[in-house]
A and B are shown apart, each in its own frame.
Chain A
């Protein structure tokens, strides 16, 4: 699969995850800090997705394979956190990690 397509797929899945879980996570949140973190994660996922849509990704960085592996691992961690009904703080960290790993991919491919 072309690098650009791979990045877009991961970014899209990340954004869809953020979108799908946002309202459920907000309903489960108890503190202003938690609600803010959920909104921050969602917005970062949205911005990263926008970035991947707009960028052409002409060249892949030399660390590409490692970065893809990191993003895939972050996706799995998030999935596990969701499936095992982990507490909200754990899910929040997993979501933030996935978004930043996708952002790393986007940055490296520029």
Chain B
């Protein structure tokens, strides 16, 4: 994004005196001053960066909820079919078997209304609403950038209206209600002398409305975090049950867990071959490692959502600065974006490894 008049040309966040020095009168009458444009562009850039980082987080979280539904279906079927045998002969059928509890298709059909899957699907629906709200908010920040670069007409208002509607939908699903609307006249008060022409008013009002949406999204995330923490308190049981079944089937690879145990004890771990040999030779070592692998590690909080909440709070601070005619600095927002990206990266790279360790054998 470029700027017609840079801050180095015009100095600090003060418009009126600078226009006499820097801009032709035509420009003064028609558009916002350079500092306002620059501030709005910085806000747009920070907003797009923040919402993009949150989108990445949504992708990883969505996968996690789907994985829990799949794990619960697996656990149910593996457990409930344990007696589907006649002596040494398994009596599991694929379709139209005499015993529905032992028929793969009958059990699979019944799973669509499984109570735990329904509860987890409700959580997945909230994540989808958040994805849409974040997508609309990204579009609104892009429109703010366009408005700062040139007079984009109704584009900004329309994009903000859509983002407000999506954030309201999310808030309603989480019990915090609609976005608090910014009263039309308040932008003048917020921006003070800044809002002296239509373009300036649009930028200030746009910022105030975007801040209200950002705040609403932050409050919604706080509610969503509570839900995830509540679900995580039982999800550990689902995951532990899956590991138990895989161990029963002789499929749990013990060496990754043993390596983790050794690393946690600050004891240098030998190569993979030595670990596997030790596990094969010592049943007690193998048993202790399997117990550790199966047992639930307990909830460990939700650092990704906490980082996303901090990120939105940092963005709100910059909106306030813009509306109060202070300099907009995206440094704090950038730090928060990096922190969230790092957590998401760690979670997305850890999950496939864990899955591979569990499922590959």
Q: Is the CB of B227 within 8 A of A43?
A: no
Asked if B6 is an interface residue, CB under 8 A from chain A, the answer is no
Asked if A51 is an interface residue, CB under 8 A from chain B, the answer is yes
Q: Given A43-B115, A43-B116, are A35 and B231 also a contact pair (CB < 8 Å)? A: no
Please pick, from B76, B102, B118, B237, the residue contacting A39 in the complex, using a CB distance under 8 A: B76
Asked if B20 is an interface residue, CB under 8 A from chain A, the answer is no
Asked if A19 is an interface residue, CB under 8 A from chain B, the answer is yes
Q: Is the CB of B83 within 8 A of A34?
A: yes
Asked if A66 is an interface residue, CB under 8 A from chain B, the answer is no
Q: Give chain B interface residues in 53-106, CB to chain A under 8 Å.
A: 72, 76, 79-84, 99, 101-102
Asked if A89 is an interface residue, CB under 8 A from chain B, the answer is no
Please pick, from A15, A19, A33, the residue contacting B101 in the complex, using a CB distance under 8 A: A33
* CA distance in complex: A43, B116 (Å): 7
* CA distance in complex: A85, B241 (Å): 26
* CA distance in complex: A43, B241 (Å): 12
* CA distance in complex: A34, B82 (Å): 10
Total interface residues on B, CB under 8 Å, equals 24
Q: Is the CB of A32 within 8 A of B175?
A: no
Contact count A vs B, C-beta below 8 Å: 63
Asked if A47 is an interface residue, CB under 8 A from chain B, the answer is yes
Say which size band chain A's interface belongs to: 20 to 34
Please pick, from B81, B102, B234, the residue contacting A46 in the complex, using a CB distance under 8 A: B234
Q: Give chain B interface residues in 193-243, CB to chain A under 8 Å.
A: 227, 230-231, 233-234, 237-238
- Using Cβ atoms and an 8 Å threshold, which residues of chain A touch B227? 54
Q: Is the CB of B119 within 8 A of A36?
A: no
Q: Is the CB of A36 within 8 A of B101?
A: yes
Q: Given A35-B82, A36-B80, A53-B233, are A47 and B99 also a contact pair (CB < 8 Å)? A: no
* CA distance in complex: A103, B76 (Å): 20
* CA distance in complex: A26, B84 (Å): 13
Q: Is the CB of A53 within 8 A of B101?
A: no
Asked if A93 is an interface residue, CB under 8 A from chain B, the answer is no
Asked if A31 is an interface residue, CB under 8 A from chain B, the answer is yes
Asked if A57 is an interface residue, CB under 8 A from chain B, the answer is no
With both chains docked as a complex, state the minimum distance between the C-beta of A48 and any C-beta of chain B, in angstroms. Answer: 8
Please pick, from A15, A26, A44, the residue contacting B82 in the complex, using a CB distance under 8 A: A26
Chain A: CB-nearest residue to B75: A39
Besides A30-B83, A35-B82, 15 other CB < 8 A contacts? A19-B237, A29-B82, A32-B83, A34-B83, A35-B79, A35-B81, A36-B101, A38-B80, A46-B115, A46-B238, A47-B115, A50-B119, A53-B231, A54-B227, A54-B231
